Structure formats: structure tokens, C-alpha cells
Amino acid sequence: MDDSVIIYTDGACSGNPGPGGWGAVLRWRGVERQLSGSEAHTTNNRMELQAVIAALEALKRPVPVTLYTDSQYVQKGVTEWLPRWKARQWRTASGHTVANRDLWERLDQLAAQLPITWCWVKGHDGNEGNELADWLARQAIAAMQKGKTDDRG
């Protein structure tokens, strides 16, 4: 039986910066797990990263992962930019400190432990897993704004 995990992630913000939420859908051997969380004041990029981090942290053991994100910031960041940022001591090509360095460092640690295939999907384009992750992120914002904070769905 295939032991790989399929993950869909998304982040959302009501204003950028503003209240934010993230959602993740993990599928393994016919079982689905949904995760979500929120922050009162954040950015969309931080929520996109947090969704991926939370999904990877939820894995019980190292297994192959196919991860779908509609964030080119995340997908290109991991596959293209991250090695160069690390080589430049977390500086961009223009010499600025990498934004969201704390989350990038955590994601780098997690990704180093797993074989991950990073896939970009167009957001809001009918991909069922991506649409569900987006819905979870938006529900997390709504719940927080109603005073119900549940940081780990």
C-alpha cells in the first residue's frame, strides 16, 4: 500500500496585514485530517507558510509527501530561493534580511527530514483540496473574529 501523504495548504488574510488564517488538508490511505489556525495580526505570506509548517509537523513519522500550495511564494521559496538565502546568511540578493525568516528556518528544518514533492496549483480554480484548505483558513479567521480561537483544528 502506498505510504505517501497528500497535503493541500492555504493561507488567508482579511487585509494584508490583518487577521489571518491557515488551513491544511492531509490525506493518507483514505483518511483525511483537517487542520486550521489563526492569528490576530499577520500577513498572507506568513499564513501560507504556517499552513505548510503545521501540516508537516502533524506527520507522525517520515513519509513521502506530495504538497500542493497555491502560493508561488511558498513553492518558489522552497524550491528556488531558500538555498540562495541560506548561502547568503538569510539575506536576499539585494542584501535585505529575508522576510519571515523564522518560518522559513522552521520549514527548512522540517523539509530536510522528508522527501517532499512541491506542487503549485492555481488558487480558486476548482481544485477540491485547495478549495477545502482555503475554506478552512477563512473559517479560522471567522471563528477568531467571533472570539473562538482554536489554533490547531
What is the pTM for the complete model shown? 0.93
Q: Is 124 considered catalytic here? A: yes
From 70, 56, 32, 68, select the one nearest 114 (Cα to Cα). Answer: 56
Does 134 belong to an annotated binding site? yes
C-alpha distances in Å from residue 34, one per residue of 31, 79, 117, 153: 10, 25, 20, 7
**CATH code of the domain occupying 5-145:** 3.30.420.10
Q: Could you give the CA distance from residue 126 to residue 129 in angstroms, rounded to a whole number?
A: 9
As a whole number, mean pLDDT of residues 24-41 equals 96
Exactly one of 11, 20, 37, 129 is catalytic; name it: 11
Do the bridges between strand 5-13 and strand 65-69 make them parallel or antiparallel, or are there none, so unpaired? parallel
Does 151 belong to an annotated binding site? no
- Residue ranges per domain, the chain? 5-145
Exactly one of 10, 23, 37, 39 is catalytic; name it: 10
pLDDT in tens, 82-99: 999 999 999 999 999 999
